[in-house]
A and B are shown apart, each in its own frame.
Chain A
Amino acid sequence: MQRQDPLQSPFVPFSPNPSLQQGTPTATAPLKHSLTASQSSNLRYSSSRKSIYDRHLNRTQRSELSKSSFAFLFGEMVQYAQKRVSGIQDLEKKSATPSFVPTHVSPAGPRHLKSLSEAIHSLTPRRLNLHGYTIGQRLLELLLWRDGRSAKRETRILGILQFITTTLYRSIFNKPADALEKSRDNEDEYMLIDNDPMVSSYISIPKEMSQLNCAAFVAGIIEAVLDGCLFPSRVTAHSVPTEQFPGKTVFLIKFDESVLEREAVL
Chain B
Amino acid sequence: MSANKAARIGEEVWKTRIDKVNAELVTLTYGSIVAQLCKDMEGDYLEVNKQLEKMGYNIGLRLIEDFLAKTNMGKCANFRETAETISKIGFKVFLNITPTVTNWTTDGKQFSLIFEENPLADFVELPDDGRAQNELWYSNLLCGVLRGSLEMVQMQVDAHFVNDVLRGNEVTEMRVTLVRIIDDELPPGED
Using a CB–CB distance below 8 Å, which chain A residues touch chain B?
A: 3-7, 41-49, 51-52, 55, 59-61, 63-70, 72-77, 79-80, 84, 100, 127, 130-131, 134-135, 138-139, 142, 171-174, 198, 202, 204
Contact = CB atoms under 8 A, between A and B. Distances in A.
Contacts of B8: none
A80 B20 contact: no
Interface string B71-102: 00000000000000000000001111000000
B185 interface: no
Interface in B23-71: 23-30, 32-33, 35-40, 42-43, 51, 55, 58-59, 62-63, 66
Given A64-B96, A80-B55, A139 B20 contact: no
B1 to A, nearest CB: 22
Contacts of B167: 44
A65 B21 contact: yes
Nearest to A52: B125
Nearest to A48: B170
22 contacts: A6-B127, A6-B129, A41-B128, A43-B125, A46-B168, A49-B165, A55-B123, A59-B122, A60-B27, A61-B24, A63-B22, A65-B21, A66-B20, A66-B95, A68-B63, A68-B66, A70-B29, A73-B29, A80-B51, A138-B28, A173-B22, A198-B21
Contacts of B170: 46-48
B11 to A, nearest CB: 14
A72 B62 contact: yes
A63 B24 contact: yes
B190 interface: no
B133 interface: yes
B168 A134 contact: no
A67 B20 contact: yes
Nearest to B92: A66
Contacts of A100: 40
Contacts of A63: 22-24, 96, 119
Contacts of A139: 28
B29 A66 contact: no
B32 A3 contact: no
A-B CB proximity, top 4 nearest:
A44-B168, A63-B23, A64-B20, A6-B127
Contacts, number: 142
Nearest to B19: A67
A7 B42 contact: yes
B169 interface: yes
Contacts of A48: 165, 170
Given A47-B170, A60-B23, A69-B26, A7 B39 contact: yes
Contact of B43 (A7, A55, A75, A198): A7
Given A5-B129, A64-B22, A131-B29, 10 more contacts: A7-B42, A46-B168, A48-B165, A60-B119, A65-B23, A66-B93, A69-B26, A70-B25, A127-B36, A142-B24
A59 B23 CA distance: 11
B55 A76 contact: yes
B29 A43 contact: no
B20 A76 contact: no
A92 to B, nearest CB: 15
B130 interface: yes
A129 to B, nearest CB: 12
Contacts of A135: 25, 28-29, 32
Contacts of A79: 55, 58
B29 A60 contact: no
B28 A66 contact: no
A65 B20 contact: yes
Contact of A174 (B22, B27, B36, B133): B22
A72 B59 contact: yes
B18 interface: yes
B126 interface: yes
B66 to A, nearest CB: 5
A127 to B, nearest CB: 8
Nearest to B67: A68
Given A63-B23, A65-B96, A69-B26, A76 B126 contact: no
B158 to A, nearest CB: 21
